[in-house]
Structure 1
Amino acid sequence: MSAEKAPLPFGYTFMADSGHTGTGGADHYNGMLDCFRKIIRNEGFSRLYRGISAPILMEAPKRATKFAANDKWGKFYRDLFGQQTMNQSLSVLTGASAGATESFVVVPFELVKIRLQDKASAGKYNGMIDVVMKTVRNEGILAMYNGLESTLWRHILWNSGYFGCIFQVRQLIPKADTKSGQTVNDIIAGTIGGTVGTILNTPFDVIKSRIQNTVRVPGQTPKYNWAWPGVATIAKEEGFGALYKGFIPKVLRLGPGGGILLVVYTGVMDFFRQMREAKM
């Protein structure tokens, strides 16, 4: 993430992962461009941006939590294992832990976004606040954390791939002698990390959307309830390719977004570091 920049429209266009598997008509999309055309033709251009409030509000706390948790977990694991510097294994472990931490911030926003964006449920809600009120009233306050387990897996895999690749790529490419050279290196490392993270976590993004878009009915066990069994069910019933529905728009967003995120984070941290040194 939304890395992961503001997820619309690329984060929205393939709602095939929300559980709709129609084989024809306006609801069936044959690719990213076909999805764009049909949504605009049948629902209007503004539909591409439905549910944008939740991801916009999520961005700042999500990014802050991601990198703050990564720094804290990195220090914790270095002390735990007696390492003075980070290595590949610690980078993956630290990223996974940061992803798990980040998930607790993300889940309610993601649930609101999914329910607003899916065509089958969007008509039930008048906006972000309405989703929250109706979900809490009809399903209970804990329903705002539906999909927590699948979100944990999604963010553990993305962050471990992202931070692990950043470490490895930085070791492999020549060290930069200038600030602009370092920026290029960060874009390369972050883009590769974002791409690998997306390859790893897309199946869990698919199942997360289906879980969060399922209204809980007392006494009934939903079809999609837990991440790994849900992934197995999709693969069995729809084929392995169904686990990667929406992969192209997602990787177009999160691959380059991973590079931009790393550059912005590095720049901001350098700025504050310089301010602190100037005061001293």
Structure 2
Amino acid sequence: MSATFKMPTSRVVENAKQTSESVLSDASSAVKTAAENPKRATADLLHTPFMRAALPFINGGIAGMTATTVIQPVDMIKVRLQLAGEGVKTGPKPTPVTVFRDIVASGKVLDLYTGLSAGILRQAVYTTARLGFFDTFMKRLTISAESKGQKIGFKERAGAGLAAGGLAAVVGNPADLALIRMQSDGLKPVAQRANYTSVIDALTRISKNEGVLRLWAGCYPTVVRAMALNFGQLAFFSEAKNQLKGTSLSSRSQTLTASAVAGFFASFFSLPFDFVKTRLQKQTRAPDGTLPYKGMFDCFKQVAKDEGLLRFYRGFGTYYVRIAPHAMVTLIVADYLGFITK
């Protein structure tokens, strides 16, 4: 009985020993191969199924965060322009220059980077999702079209852009709201300012004081704005790049030109919704618990009545300067990252 018991045990020990030696040998071999040929090791990792699925999202997030770091001061000026003269049709009309001068005069040049942490978090969530979803949708649409002997057209690109933008906007709304709150805080009287120290501080205090659901304030116009922006940016970028393929322009020039075209259409389609989103996310409850706007349609109605229809396009030049370079940097970085991680 004792011998019967010992035989399986010795075999288990022997098998375990052989398995551990095999694992160690494989690991040692992998490390040696990576040391001798790091390019091959990296290529092998990049071509695993998990990494192929994750790369569009990773590249999109890196591209978006890079662009936001560059464009943040312009975004700050854009938000201040949208909030100036709220509820008043006449009066002083601020310009990007006057807004820039006021910000610098009242504090420091670094105040132009207020909310950068929220902006980076937003890109890490929103742009990661929208570019990742768009790339994923486009690949599936391309495979489906090719199986039928067809090519995807503008309609498919537009649909992929709209869907990717809407899905990503829902996920990124809390960070977007925190960004608006941080950027608009300086417009309030000193005694009423929240003085958020970071995006985490803003999200925590808003959740605690106003409820977790408040983090999705303005979600509806944010989704519509994201869909409009993505329709203009991704669909027109993809279409313009496709149209420019047969020209004498270099690959880099084609990307730059397509990005500029995409930036214009993204600005044109999304600015009214961006304007309303900013107004809704900035508002806080009065002592009696009421809010200035009941929702997206009420905000459209009040602004059109009290401030005029053209108010929705106030700061279009600044918005384009914010959107176009952001789109260009994002798309160029994403394009480059996609190229080197093929």
TM-score band w.r.t. shorter chain? 0.7 to 0.9
Q: Deviations over 1:179-224 (max 9, x none)?
A: x911210111112112211111111111111111112469855332
The DSSP-based 3-state class of the residue aligned with 1:12 is helix
Task: Note if 1:154 corresponds to 2:225.
Answer: yes
Aligned to 1:32: 96
Counterparts of residues 81-230 of structure 1 (less than 5 Å):
84-118=150-184, 119-121=186-188, 123-128=193-198, 129-175=200-246, 181-216=250-285, 220=289, 222-230=291-299
Q: Is the 8 A contact 2:74 2:322 kept in 1?
A: yes
Q: State how many pairs are aligned.
A: 268
When residues 45 and 253 of structure 1 are mapped into structure 2, their CA distance, relative to the original with a 3 A threshold, is same
Q: Is the 8 A contact 2:161 2:227 kept in 1?
A: yes
User: RMSD of aligned C-alpha atoms?
Assistant: 2.9
Bigger-Rg structure (1/2): 2
Task: Note if 1:240 corresponds to 2:309.
Answer: yes
Higher mean C-alpha displacement, 152-161 vs 208-217: 208-217
Task: Note if 1:21 corresponds to 2:86.
Answer: yes
Q: Deviations over 1:118-148 (max 9, x none)?
A: 1345821332233222211111111111111
When residues 268 and 4 of structure 1 are mapped into structure 2, their CA distance, relative to the original with a 3 A threshold, is closer
Aligned to 2:59: none
Shift of 1:83: 7.8
Shift of 1:260: 2.5
Q: Give the counterpart letter for 1:158 in structure 2.
A: L
Q: Give the counterpart letter for 1:47 in structure 2.
A: D
Q: Is the 8 A contact 2:241 2:254 kept in 1?
A: yes
Higher mean C-alpha displacement, 82-91 vs 249-258: 82-91
Higher helix fraction: Structure 1 or Structure 2?
2
Counterparts of residues 15-94 of structure 1 (less than 5 Å):
15-18=80-83, 20-21=85-86, 30-75=94-139, 79=144, 84-94=150-160
Shift of 1:65: 1.2
Q: Give the counterpart letter for 2:193 in structure 1.
A: G
Q: Distance in 2 between matches of 1:262 and 1:64?
A: 12
When residues 165 and 77 of structure 1 are mapped into structure 2, their CA distance, relative to the original with a 3 A threshold, is same
TM-score, normalization by structure 1: 0.84
Q: Distance in 1 between matches of 2:76 and 2:321?
A: 13
Q: Deviations over 1:69-111 (max 9, x none)?
A: 0023335556499684320111111101110011023211111
Higher mean C-alpha displacement, 156-165 vs 53-62: 53-62
Q: Give the % identical residues.
A: 22
Q: Is the 8 A contact 1:88 1:164 kept in 2?
A: yes
Q: Distance in 2 between matches of 1:186 and 1:163?
A: 12
Which runs of 5 or more structure 1 residues have no equivalent in the other structure?
Answer: 274-280
Q: Distance in 1 between matches of 2:136 and 2:288?
A: 42
Counterparts of residues 240-279 of structure 1 (less than 5 Å):
240-273=309-342
Q: Distance in 2 between matches of 1:38 and 1:103?
A: 31
Q: Is the 8 A contact 2:81 2:95 kept in 1?
A: no
When residues 241 and 257 of structure 1 are mapped into structure 2, their CA distance, relative to the original with a 3 A threshold, is same
When residues 217 and 69 of structure 1 are mapped into structure 2, their CA distance, relative to the original with a 3 A threshold, is farther
When residues 13 and 2 of structure 1 are mapped into structure 2, their CA distance, relative to the original with a 3 A threshold, is farther
Q: Distance in 2 between matches of 1:187 and 1:151?
A: 27
